[in-house]
Amino acid sequence: MAVRAVRGAVQLDRDEAGHMDERVSELLTAVLERNSLTADDLISVWFTATPDLHSDFPAAAARKLGIVDVPLICAQELDIEGAMPRVVRILAHIESDLPRADIAHVYLGAAGALRKDIAQ
């Protein structure tokens, strides 16, 4: 199996822990489903959040989904003027037989505007 990377992002409506949990869970579930993956296929996941999100760690949603033995890390996205607010991004390293060109990167809702070239 090859090591691949899959990207994704979601914009939150508000900075509340429960809402972050819902939206990040939705994003992770979509990444797994669209790439025919299970938690066992995950090597590691990086989460970034824009500086206006501070109610919870995005990785907490992964743990609630049962992703418990995969290294996760959270970081803050650069604070760029004019950037889309309230966004959580992921970069997941996976084991997959999919060719790189067939990896489904997932940008939900308004976050699709971030990467129109690869959003599916």
Strand partners, 92: 6, 45
The alpha-helical segments, DSSP class H, found in the chain are 17-34, 59-64
Whether 7 has a binding-site annotation, put simply, is yes
CA–CA separation, 50 and 74 (whole Å):
11
Whether 23 has a binding-site annotation, put simply, is no
Residue 108, token pair as written in the block: 């939900």
H/E segment holding residue 8? strand 2-11
In the annotated binding site for prephenate, the residues are 7, 89, 107
In the annotated binding site, the residues are 7, 89, 107
